[in-house]
Structure 1
Amino acid sequence: MKKTQNVLIKGTKDGLTLHLDDQCSYEELKRELNEKLTENQRANKDQPLISVRVKVGNRYLSEEQQEEIKTLIRQKKNLVVESIESNVISKLEAQQMIEEHEIISVARMVRSGQVLEVPGDLLLIGDVNPGGKVVAGGNVFVMGALKGIAHAGANGNSEAVISASIMMPTQLRISDAISRSPDVNGEDDRREMECAYIDQNDQIIIDRLQVLMRLRPNLTRLEGGL
Structure 2
Amino acid sequence: MGKVLKQGVTIKGTKDGLLFFLDDSRPFSAVLKELKYKLEQNNASHIWDGPEMKVKIKLGQRQISKPEEIAVRELFSIRKNLIIHEFESEGMPYLLDRESGIEMLSGTVRSGQVLTHTGDILLLGDVNPGGTIQSTGSIYVMGAIRGLAHAGSKGDETAIIAASILRPTQLRIADVISRPPDQWDESEVNMRFAYLVNNQIAVEKMHHLSRIRPDQEWKENNKRP
Normalised by the length of structure 1, the TM-score is 0.50
Bigger relative contact order, structure 1 or 2, given CA contacts below 8 A and separation 6+?
2
Answer with 1 or 2: which has the greater Rg: 1
